[in-house]
Structure 1
Amino acid sequence: MNRICTICARGGSKGVKNKNIKLLLGKPLIAHTILQAKKSGLFDVIAVSSDSKEILAAANQYGADILVERPPELATDQAAKLPVIQHCLSLAEKKTGRSFDVIVDMDATSPLRLIDDIAQSVQLFEESPDADNLITGAPSRRSPYFNLVEINHEGYASLSKKLDKVIVRRQDAPECYDMNASIYIWRRETLLNSTTVFQEKTLLYEMSEERSIDIDSELDFEFVSFLATKRGGLS
């Protein structure tokens, strides 16, 4: 089965300036995800998509196989994720002259994943032939059935989701997860024909909260730096 790893990293960043090339443990942030993909031994090709020459240069330095220049319309704050992955796949297939059965997209801003997470999520997906795609997530701290609320049009709060029976303990509520933006896996045809991440048959691979921080602020970066140092490295 042919597999490609896509890593899509935009140059602009509001929360952390130049975060995809900010140094973490002495390497640009994006380098850790590239090295994880390489060390997993799972991919025929690793493709990095970016609108930033600096990010693409770093990706080249750390061993990405294909560099994809992202067009401006896919590099705005409003640009959705799926068209970016679709564009990256299309360009990678043109450059290699081959088609990929499984696309594994990994976010550079979620570097605390383990190589085992990559391997086990791919295994789960490929051993589930009816699944359309796979996402990763961690058990949620808040439950829409117990302590996650919404404000209605009259300004009053109520639970986001209600059950027929009243939940008095969070442990009795249905299990819920926070998406952690770490790993997304797609079958080629599903990806190319999709406009949303959630499909009829979307699998979830569970990761611990400690491995699920997605860097969106300077504080997130500090947390990731602390945990990565404590662990003794990332890749």
Structure 2
Amino acid sequence: MKRLCTICARSGSKGVINKNIRELAGKPLLAYSILQARASQLFDAIAVSSDCDKFLRLANHWGAEYLIKRPDFLATDEAPKIPVIQHCLKSVEEVSKMNFDVIVDLDVTSPLRYISDIKEVIDLLETKQVSNVITGTPARRSPYFNLVEINGQGGVQLSKPLSKPIFRRQDAPKSYDMNASIYAWKKEVLIQSQTVFHEDTLLYIMPAERSVDIDSELDFQFVELLMKKRGDYDGSNIL
């Protein structure tokens, strides 16, 4: 069974300029996912997809084996991620002459994952024989208890009220935040997908301290602090 790791690194970040290559704890953010994929020894190929030649050169420096130039229509703010991964898969298969069975995408902006997280996600996918696996962390707000919406009349209501009200968050059904860390698919599912949600999609649960998705200056500072605290900057020594 052949596995491809994809890492998608668009250059046009608006919230934090060039965040995918911004230095974090001594390395560009992009480097962490590449190093984790290499250290895991789980993949037959590691590919980085980007619209920017500078990003691709950097990816090559840190060990990516396949550098996929993304077409402009897949590099806009509105472009969904799944077509980007599909394009990357197709391009790598054409160049490498390999056919992959499993595709695992590591999100650049979630560098706190461990190697063991990647391994467990792949094990779930391959042993349970499901379409795909996504990752998440226990939600800080519950749609059944303290996550609210403004309704059509301007009032406030619970996002997902229960037929019988609850008065403690602990009594609410468990909810999870997708943490944008790891996505794994069987190839035959990915090439036909427009969504990450299928009838048999499984969730791999990660703790909050490995689930920070960098989207702001504060996130950068927080992630760097956590990296320094655990003493392993890219998770490659935590198997």
Aligned residue for 1:170?
169
Task: Give the distance between the partners of 1:124 and 1:210, measured in 2 at CA.
Answer: 22
Aligned residue for 1:180?
179
Question: What per-residue deviation string (whole Å, max 9, x for no partner) do you get for residues 106-165 of structure 1?
Answer: 001100000111111111111111x21111000001000111111111011111112222
Aligned residue for 1:137?
136
Counterpart of 1:219, as a letter, is L
Counterpart of 1:136, as a letter, is T
SS at match of 2:183: strand
Aligned length: 234
Question: What per-residue deviation string (whole Å, max 9, x for no partner) do you get for residues 82-115 of structure 1?
Answer: 1000000000110111211110000011000001
Aligned residue for 1:224?
223
Note the C-alpha offset of 1:27: 1.2
> Identity of paired residues, percent?
62
Task: Give the distance between the partners of 2:221 and 2:141, measured in 1 at CA.
Answer: 23
Unaligned runs of at least 5 residues, structure 2: none
Task: Give the distance between the partners of 1:16 and 1:225, measured in 2 at CA.
Answer: 16
Question: What per-residue deviation string (whole Å, max 9, x for no partner) do you get for residues 37-73 of structure 1?
Answer: 0000100000000001111011100111100000000
Aligned residue for 2:57?
57
SS at match of 1:122: helix
Alignment of 1:69-108 (within 5 A): 69-108=69-108
- TM-score w.r.t. the length of structure 1 is 0.98
Counterpart of 2:182, as a letter, is I
Task: Give the distance between the partners of 1:9 and 1:124, measured in 2 at CA.
Answer: 26
Aligned residue for 1:37?
37
Note the C-alpha offset of 1:16: 1.2
SS at match of 2:185: strand
Note the C-alpha offset of 1:166: 1.2
